[in-house]
A = this chain, B = another copy of it.
Amino acid sequence: MNKKFQEEVQQDALGRLISALKILPGIGPKSAQRMAYYLLQHDRAGAQVLGETLQFAVNHIGHCRMCNSFSEIDLCKTCSDDRRDSKILCIVETPSDQLMVEQTLSFKGLYYVLMGRLSPMEGQGPKELGFDVLMNRIFLTPTDGREAVSEVILATNFTSEGEATAHFLGEVLKSKGISISRIARGIPVGGELEYVDAGTLARAMMDRRPLGS
């Protein structure tokens, strides 16, 4: 009887709100409850906006047909910006990674966002990641007057899966007449040798560059 009563309580609007908030990454039952109470008590207007925005986003945000990143228009703003250099293509795992590269203000080429990484454990193979689309993006001659891709920068993460993805793409792309590079691994700017892990330091030694280059 009591059990049934509790379940009934769980199905009211507040219970449903708490359950719904738990879908957010990193949010458990306690945080979801705190969020629900906070919104109802202190920010109903904000909650209303969040509700509308979520629905709008879900129904309007798709993927850019060129770079595969999130976009609500067919061709995203970055891809349609003709001031960017279409000869260089930077391949990243996620839109967050793209944003990080973009924030360095040091890259003026275009992007391709994999929306993942090779991960056999999670069933993410070349097919699931749509590598055929990426190959078309790289090798098909653009019909809109842009220059074709002549250089690919592999900017996947330096995790084992990111490395495997870069290695795989490198293997597929080499001997196709385009230049391929991997972003550098080494000591972070401002980093001290004493606090850097041995693997990174070993790599920094290996990848050393002649002074003045």
Binding site for B on A (CB under 8 A): 5, 8-9, 12-14, 16-17, 20-21, 23-26, 31, 33-41, 43-44, 46-61, 70, 72, 77, 94-96, 99, 115
Chain B contacts of A99 at CB under 8 A?
33
- Check B54–A16 contact: CB distance below 8 A: no
Q: Chain B's nearest CB lies how many Å from the CB of A117?
A: 13
Q: How far is the CA of A38 from the CA of B94 in the complex (A)?
A: 10
Closest to A49 in B: B20
Give min CB distance, A56 to chain B, whole Å: 6
When the two chains form their complex, are residues A50 and B25 in contact, meaning their CB atoms are under 8 A apart? no
Indicate whether A61 sits within 8 Å of B94 (C-beta atoms), given known contacts A20-B53, A46-B20: no
Our pick among B13, B24, B38, B72 for the contact of A72 (Cβ within 8 Å) is B13
Q: List 8 A-B contacts (CB under 8 A).
A: A20-B49, A24-B24, A25-B34, A25-B35, A34-B96, A37-B94, A40-B57, A47-B54
Find A50's partner among B54, B56, B94 (CB 8 Å cutoff).
B54
Are the CB atoms of A48 and B40 closer together than 8 Å? Answer: no
| A12 CB to nearest chain B CB (Å) | 6
Chain B contacts of A54 at CB under 8 A?
17, 20, 39, 47-48, 50-51, 54
**Other-chain residue from B34, B40, B52, B95 in contact with A61 (beta carbon distance below 8 A):** B40
Residue of B16, B43, B58 near A23 (CB, 8 A) is B43
Query: Which residues of B lie under 8 Å from residue A25 when comparing CB positions?
Result: 34-35, 38
**A13-B53, A48-B54 given. 4 additional CB < 8 A pairs?**
A14-B61, A23-B39, A37-B94, A50-B51
A48 adjacent to B37 (CB under 8 Å) = no
Q: Which residue of the partner chain B has the closest CB to A50?
A: B20
A101 to chain B, nearest CB (A): 14
The interface centre, meaning the residue of A26, A47, A50, A52 with most chain B CB atoms within 10 A of its CB, is: A50
Q: Please indicate the chain B residues that have their CB under 8 angstroms from the CB of A16 in the complex.
A: 53, 56-57
